[in-house]
Amino acid sequence: MSSQTEVRPEDYVNSNSRPSDLKITDVRVASLRGLPMRVAVIRIDTNQGLVGYGEVRDGASKTYALLLKSRLVGENPCNVDKVFRKIKQFGHHGRQAGGVCGIEMGLMDLAGKAYGVPAYMLAGGKFRDRILCYSDTPSVPDGTAMGNLLKERMDRGFKFLKMDVGIQLLKGIPGTVIAPPDMIETRHVMHPFTGIQITQKGIDVLCEYVGKVRDVIGYEIPLAVDHFGHIGLESCIRLGKALDQFTLAWYEDMIPWQFTNQWRTLTDAVDTPTCTGEDIYLKEGFLPLLRERAVSIIHPDLASSGGILETKKIGDMAQEYGVAMAMHMAASPICALANVHCAAATENFIVLENHSVDDPRWSNLVSGLPNPLIQDGFIQVPETPGLGFTDINEDLMREYLDADDPDFFGPSDHWDKEYSHDRLWS
């Protein structure tokens, strides 16, 4: 008889959690502002004391999450796919998916905590131990000054950059933009319908701007560009061809994602990768672009695309078409970590966005992880359960509370009996 202590499987089970008996008991939110984005953090409570966190995307209403409460209470959060299929009909493209996606993050956080594994394990395991990040950088009018701002990012360890290049840089320069009355100021008319055109002089000004940036940062580092303005396809092609000389990482959202044929025309016309997707919901929304090879890179926002598992499926589908996946993200560390786990589990992932590197307190909103969260341009993939952080920093979160909605995870009882006949078939 061996004198060694027998190793039993149950010794490795988290005795504080019985996953098969776990039930959702409450859903509450706290609205934050100034990260610099505006988000709502979701807290999902359970009958075993486990708490999961998710996040409603920047600019989306917390109502999108709270209206789901009556559909969630009593469900086992470990049944992530089952619950997601129940609620996904309440999302749509753009910000309307914010509630569904934020809840899915919370479910993955809870399931990981219940089973004692990091969320990426629930998505099939990881392909990488750290996630490359790029830092979006606000524009300034002078190209050399913009280059110096980006060089400062490089000095802080960032190895991938992004900036804006568009008609906003041409404001006040005569002869650069042709536009019908009031259209130059609109944000509510889609690009093909504005009638805005960029002139050759305008193109020359923007090329000079990007050239000055490249003179400062060089050509060894990827530089993506975004926010061209609501210009039509033909102007996008002319500008894109002119900017090809600078070997940019991608042209982002030059036209609305809905116009697959226009994206195919644009992609065929330029020599720089094209990129879109931050407002697309579910893998079915990405399929037309992929099937037509209309873009070079997809760019889902996990807080709009369906959450961790759905975005992993989107990436896998894109890989089958030979298309890479970058990830859009403007959020708190909670959503950032959801992205990290998804990116770790997706083979064709390239890089993850971040908008908050200029706020030194951003990383302090959660505890139990390296601080700052981004180090040398990467986020380390957590090996701790769920999304990976130990807890939220309630005191700091209260400092970011939205002044128009200062309720901090207050009761949401008035959503308990919200009801409709949700079945989509007869």
Q: Would you state the pLDDT for residue 398?
A: 96
pLDDT score of 419: 84
For residue 58, which phi and psi values (nearest 5 degrees)? -55, 130
Residues 166 and 109 occupy one common structural domain: no
Do 253 and 359 fall into the same domain?
yes
Task: Provide the domain count of the chain.
Answer: 2
Residue 206 lies in a domain: yes
Q: Are residues 127 and 86 in the same domain?
A: no
Tell me, what CATH number does 183's domain have?
3.20.20.120
pLDDT at 62: 95
Same domain, yes or no, for 198 and 66? no
Residues 6 or more apart in contact with residue 101 via CB below 8 angstroms: 54, 56, 57, 91, 302, 303, 304, 305, 306, 307
- What is the CATH number for 59? 3.30.390.10
| Tens digit of each residue's pLDDT, the chain (426 residues) | 444 556 665 555 555 578 999 999 999 999 999 888 899 999 999 999 999 999 999 989 999 999 999 999 999 999 999 999 999 999 999 999 999 999 999 999 999 999 999 999 999 999 999 999 998 899 999 999 999 999 999 999 999 999 999 999 999 999 999 999 989 888 899 999 999 999 999 999 999 999 999 999 999 999 999 999 999 999 999 999 999 999 999 999 999 999 999 999 999 999 999 999 999 999 999 999 999 999 999 999 999 999 999 999 999 999 999 999 999 999 999 999 999 999 999 999 999 999 999 999 999 999 999 999 999 999 999 999 999 999 999 999 999 999 999 999 999 999 998 888 898 988
pLDDT at 164: 97
Query: 139 and 287 share a domain?
Result: yes
Distance CA 255, CA 115 (A): 43
Task: Tell whether 274 and 145 lie within a shared domain.
Answer: yes
Look at residues 152, 134, 76 and name the one whose alpha carbon lies nearest to residue 353: 134
CB atoms within 10 A of CB 401: 16
255 and 149, same domain (yes or no): yes
On whether residue 426 sits in a domain, the answer given is no
Residues 126 and 110 placed together within one structural domain of the fold: no
Asked whether residue 423 is domain-assigned, the answer is: no
Q: Are residues 102 and 132 in the same domain?
A: no
Domain assignment of residue 109, given as a range: 12-118+404-415
pTM metric for this prediction: 0.94
Whether 397 is covered by a domain: the verdict is no
At 387 the pLDDT is: 98
Asked if the structure places residue 77 within a domain, the reply is yes
Tell me, yes or no, whether 99 and 199 share the same domain.
no
Residues 228 and 113 in one domain: no
Residues 45 and 184 in one domain: no
Which pLDDT value is given to residue 6? 67
Q: What's the rounded Cα separation, in Å, for the pair 303 and 352?
A: 13
Q: Has residue 27 been placed in a domain?
A: yes
Q: Does residue 344 fall inside a structural domain? A: yes
396 within domain boundaries: no
